[in-house]
Structure 1
Amino acid sequence: MSKSDHAPPTVRVPEGWRETSSTVETMFDAKVVSVRAHTVVFEDAALRDAIRDRTGVDGTWRFFFASRLRLRPNVTPSKPLTRLVDDRANAGFVDQLGERGFRDVTSVESRRFAVERTEANLTRYRARVRVRTGTDDGTGTDDGTVTDDGTETDGAAVTVAAEGYLAVWPADEGYLVAGGAYPVSVADDGELAAAVASSLAPARHREELFELIRSTA
């Protein structure tokens, strides 16, 4: 049985994660077909709280999103359509990383990835992000944090190397898209950087991201 056009994707999120948004929008309109996406976004709130309590640096360290895509008119997914959806989804993921403050976003590799009874196109990305105190979401540019009165202050901050993955696969007469990003290492030296680095577990972060992707339905 196919899922409702308006049904969000379901995800088995671990304890300590929380949903931050749920949106419905047109992903793209290619004249012959339009794609409507229902997207849910989650963050690792437990990791955020732990690092903030230890260091004062506050930001979204790990996030995950999943989208259910519906096609109009209803058409059977094909190789050309899958390539189009995959290209648009990856471009959107790069834009999303940019909006979250990630810089130097680079596609590293693409491969097949087992999900449920099929395989997804999985693309890996590398990036860096400056995470600092004194902003609403903890991220900022390398030039400093701009305050409400227009002045700029450096504040306490760390530069983090990050990795992200995006998976795209046909499902329920449409497509599912899932992915996210996590910190790999801290590029800076000093007590603050060491305190942040001690809270990171990149191998575990990666495996948990893969589990989130596999759980998406």
Structure 2
Amino acid sequence: MDEHTDVRSTRTTRRRLLAGGAAVGVAGLAGCLGGRDGPVPAPEVTSDRIEDWRRTDESERTVFEESYGPVTVQAREHTRVFEYAPVADALAATVDADGSPVVFFATRIDLRPAVDRLPASVGRDRILRRVETAATDAFRGQLRTAGIENVEIADEGISTVRSGHTATVWRLTGEYALDGEVPLPTGSATDVGGPVEVGARLGVWHDGTDVIVAGGAYPTEPLIAVFEASLPDSVDAERAVTELADAETAETLATDPAAYDEDVSQLLISVV
């Protein structure tokens, strides 16, 4: 992120996904973590880069509700899901795909009662570890919904988000199954598809009241490469896409993945 701080993974597991942030957040919270009444406010993406992204879903749910001695703790979330509109539209126009491997998610998790209102026997770390598991599972579930499977953690680091809080961030890998058909100049058609290698970034931090989870995914090679690999050698992929849709669609599918990575990184650190 400018902030692209990646540190060699030390066997990171899902159980650690909030551990780094929790240690910082628990020590430095000025207010209470959680504890409001009523609906959980929606997470907001403040970067103007979000203008090119289309919101595809918004949901609120109870992540978990569990008893810790005399107290029942409830974690509630509000999530917004976005897809990068140019890529989603380009895939719809060429292979009739529904969805896109370029996606972004933002979630706010509220704990009730607030952590600092819990009895001394119910430790913050214990609750935050439970939140960590829920947040990680939710992110993986969102990626699966977008068609991204086999998600693995590659690297871990620390970054400062725009609100000034310290986030633990991860780089992940996965695969997106692209599947469709493209007409050929001969009048026949050919299948276009296969596993597309995907990169993803996930960040988790405390804003003094809630846990914020934000992340996104993107292909690690230009999507036009999938077309090139599927089409006969005599057919130029960009020309074929231009004739099938238009030049803008071909240009979108040829986008350098570094542009998606930059977008996801900047969107991630802008969530409040």
TM-score (norm 1): 0.77
Q: Does 1:157 align with 2:196?
A: no
- Other-structure match for 1:23: 59
Aligned alpha-carbon RMSD (Å) = 3.0
Q: Secondary structure at the match of 1:117?
A: coil
Residue pairs, 1:82-101, within 5 angstroms = 82-101=128-147
Equivalent residue in structure 2 for 1:111, among 154, 157, 179 = 157
Q: Is the deviation greater in 72-81 or in 160-169? A: 72-81
Contact 1:5 1:70 in 2 (8 A): no
Residue pairs, 1:58-77, within 5 angstroms = 58=97, 59-76=99-116
What is the rounded CA distance, in whole Å, between the counterparts of 1:159 and 1:93 in structure 2? 20
TM-score (norm 2): 0.63
Contact 1:90 1:166 in 2 (8 A): no
- Other-structure match for 1:132: 179
What is the rounded CA distance, in whole Å, between the counterparts of 1:107 and 1:165 in structure 2? 9
Contact 2:101 2:147 in 1 (8 A): no
Contact 1:120 1:167 in 2 (8 A): yes
Q: Offset of 1:14 from its aligned partner? A: 2.6
Amino acid at match of 2:165: T
- Other-structure match for 1:137: none
Q: Secondary structure at the match of 2:173?
A: strand
What is the rounded CA distance, in whole Å, between the counterparts of 2:50 and 2:138 in structure 1? 25
Higher strand share: 1
Q: Offset of 1:52 from its aligned partner? A: 3.8
Contact 1:128 1:160 in 2 (8 A): yes
Residue by residue, what CA displacement relative to the aligned partner does 1:51-77 show, whole Å, maximum 9, x if unpaired? 444x33523131111111110111249
What is the rounded CA distance, in whole Å, between the counterparts of 2:237 and 2:157 in structure 1? 34
What is the rounded CA distance, in whole Å, between the counterparts of 1:73 and 1:163 in structure 2? 36
Greater RCO (Cα-Cα under 8 Å, separation 6 or more): 2
- Other-structure match for 1:6: 40
Q: Offset of 1:112 from its aligned partner? A: 1.2
Q: Secondary structure at the match of 1:8?
A: coil
Aligned residues: 197
Change beyond 3 A, Cα 1:198–1:19: closer
Higher helix share: 2
Q: Secondary structure at the match of 1:35?
A: strand
Q: Does 1:176 align with 2:212?
A: yes
Residue by residue, what CA displacement relative to the aligned partner does 1:99-131 show, whole Å, maximum 9, x if unpaired? 333232211122212112111111221011111
Q: Percent identity?
A: 29
Contact 1:57 1:131 in 2 (8 A): no
What is the rounded CA distance, in whole Å, between the counterparts of 2:84 and 2:129 in structure 1? 31
- Look at both structures and tell me which one has the larger radius of gyration over its CA atoms: 2
